Each structure stands twice: as structure tokens, then as C-alpha cells.
Amino acid sequence: MATDGSSPVVIGKDGLDALIATLTGRGRTVIGPTVRDGAIVLAEISGGGELPYGRGVELEAGTYRLRERQDGAAFAHSAGPQSWKTFLHPPRVREWSAERTPDGDLVVTEDDTVAPSYAFLGVRPCDLRAIAIQDRVLTGGRYTDPSYQGRRERAFLVAVECTEPGATCFCVSMGTGPATGPGYDLALTEVVDADGHRFLVRAGSEEGASVLAELPQRAADPATATAARERVAQAADRMGRSMPLVDLQTLMRETLTAERWDDVAARCLTCGNCTMVCPTCFCTSTEDVTDLTGDHAERWRHWESCFDLDFSHLPTGPVRESPRSRYRQWATHKLGTWFDQFGSSGCVGCGRCIVWCPVGIDITEEAHALDRERAARPPDGTGPS
């Protein structure tokens, strides 16, 4: 269990209800996990009763199923089809609109919609890291994305440490969980045992401490603190997947011509699901739309995927025409060249790309296969590469 120097306290289910009420009372739109359409999704919630108490998930490559839990836990489920990127870096954002006036002038107005003041409840450690990565990508360089920055600056993050990883999780391999790292306002660890259903809570910011002070609570007892620590440690030993224990940046660089890329290309549909569910993929494109009169126009930015044939289209044609080249671009960027651009991996080990791939392609399996092929090369460098 991560520590940050703050004194942890214990709240019950009533404290969780009070947390939602307090955040709502402060003018925040609370987004949390809830059950809809056969999945645990992120949506606006108004009370603790909307949380997925007693619901877990069964995950495998290309498979997602809800299941009932006997312990009634609220956060004992793995990452669902959405990430917090949906709210911080929305799929569609209007950038400007233009109107033709009666005298023929064109007036362009930049979209200045005020970003919602979100409170995210239930941010997994892997997703907390993903938010930090997107912070670096979209606000940490020379050019800042004002749309993302406005949403991010107004967001309140309630992290929940992972106590039950899914079969497709590999956050330990990526150093992103299951314990909560920095960047949260409040961090919870859920404990359900013979002593009851409760949450160990600690503050990570001044606002977090202020919110926490308004909740019904008691001092953290040794039994709860120990139980919370043990559950997080046990989760680290139960990861369903792992990356090879090698330098992934080097592995990607040294296997650009590997035969394994042909194998995965034969299975890949280039549908882009992996980029859509990934919490760190950030690429966008723009489209201009007009009404039938031609007097009103808008420019919209929308998510784009490197699996789209037109993503790298130039006047002479697409740069990456084959499925092989497009999958390789995605994987080598995510695990390798992201370091060159942003100083870290672009993968946080959430496993969403594995679960939501319609043909069950597993990025950890592909990394292991590339490592085996590299190791099988003769010392003189001949043979398959």
C-alpha cells in the first residue's frame, strides 16, 4: 500500500455515500463505476447505491463478462471498456464555429465552453498513471492542449487501490500498480472481512484533506491497515499477465523485421479497438462540417487511430499500407518509441487492449514472442529476423 505521509482514516459505506454527496455539494460532477448494458462502465452517479456492489468481472483475451460476488465489494473489478480519457480527452470536441453575416462577412468564434468540474471516483492505479502520462503528452511540452488542460485542472481524483486483478492485468510488469502512486486527491483501499465492509482512506492534496474532514470517519486501526496492505500485496502476486523481463524499448527496436509481425498481422482486423480503449492513446484528427445553407460551419476534433489506413495518408498514398506495418507502429510506439518522445512507456498494463480486441490479440503474448524470436537468432545474426 502506497503511503504519502498523511494519516489514514477508516470510513464505511455511509462514508462513501457522504463522499459522493460532499463532492456533488461542491459543484462537481461525480463520475464512477456503475453497471449498464452488461458491463461496468464509467458514468455520472448521484449516490453510493449506483456503485457496482457485489459485481465482479471475468476477463480473457476478447472476453468480458459480469459475475456476482458474494462479498458485496464495490471496487473488486478490473478495468472496463472505458478509461478516464473519455472525460479528460473526449472523443469529439468542437474547436470553433463560423457564421456568415447578412452583409457577407465571416465571423469565427473559438469554442470556449467551460469544462465540467469532474470528480472521478474509483481511479485504478494503472489509470492514475495513464492520466499522468496524458498530462505529459498533452500539457507537458511546448504546445498545450487547452481543452484537456481545462478539464484536467478541474478534476478531483479519488483513487482505489487494486485488490483483485483480472486475468488480463499486467500492471506489475509496467510498474503502475496495484498500489496507488502519486497524483490523487484521495486514495481508498477496500477491505471486506469478518470485521465488516470498510475503506482505508488517505488524502494526497489539500482539497482531498478538506473533503475527507467532512466525512464520517474513525482513526485507522492496525487490523484494517494490515488487511489493506496485505490485499494489495496479494494482488501483486496474482497478475494474470506479464511482460517479458527485458528492456522493452530495446526489444522493440531490435525486432522491427521479426517474422512475428506477419503472424499478428494475419489475425489483426485493424479495427482500432485497442487504440479506442487504451487510456493513453491520444491521436486526433479534425473535420469541418457545414449546414445546408453554407452560412454556418464548425470544426470538430475527434479521436483517430494509427490503425486507420488514412491516418498516415500522403498525396502519394498511405505510409503504412499493410496491417503488419500498422500493428507494428502501434506496438513499437506504445512500448518503445514513446520513451523517446515522452520519457516513459505508453503502456500502463491495464489489459483493455487484450479484452476488447475482437480476435483476442494479446500485447504481452506478442512481446514474449518477439523476445523468443530475438533470442533464437544465431550469434552471427543470420536466420529469421
- 67-117 pLDDT tens trace: 999 999 999 998 889 999 999 999 999 999 999 998 889 999 999 888 889
Residue-level length of the chain: 385
- The pLDDT tens digits of the residues spanning 350-381 come to 999 999 999 999 999 999 999 999 999 876 55
Checking if the pLDDT of 385 tops 90, the result is no
Task: Look at residue 6 in the predicted model and tell me its pLDDT.
Answer: 66
> What are residue 108's phi and psi, to 5 degrees?
-105, 130
Checking if the pLDDT of 2 tops 70, the result is no
- Sorted by where each begins, the domain ranges of the chain are 9-92+99-236, 248-375
> What are residue 207's phi and psi, to 5 degrees?
-65, -35
* Three cell numbers, residue 67: 459475475
Task: Look at residue 107 in the predicted model and tell me its pLDDT.
Answer: 93
Task: Look at residue 131 in the predicted model and tell me its pLDDT.
Answer: 98
Checking if the pLDDT of 122 tops 60, the result is yes
Helix (H, G, I), strand (E, B) or coil at 369: helix
Is the distance from CB of 118 to CB of 87 less than 8 angstroms? yes
- The pLDDT tens digits of the residues spanning 261-280 come to 999 999 999 999 999 999 99
Q: What span, in angstroms and rounded, lies between the C-alpha atoms of 74 and 40?
A: 11
* Three cell numbers, residue 54: 457485489
Q: What is the mean pLDDT of the chain?
A: 94
Please report which confidence band the pLDDT of residue 295 belongs to, taking 50, 70 and 90 as the band edges: very high
Please report which confidence band the pLDDT of residue 124 belongs to, taking 50, 70 and 90 as the band edges: very high
Task: Look at residue 382 in the predicted model and tell me its pLDDT.
Answer: 47
Q: Determine which of 237-241, 297-301, 312-316, 358-362 has the lowest per-residue pLDDT on average.
A: 312-316
Task: Look at residue 5 in the predicted model and tell me its pLDDT.
Answer: 44
- Under 8 Å CB-to-CB from 330, ≥6 apart: which residues? 274, 275, 306, 307
Checking if the pLDDT of 36 tops 50, the result is yes
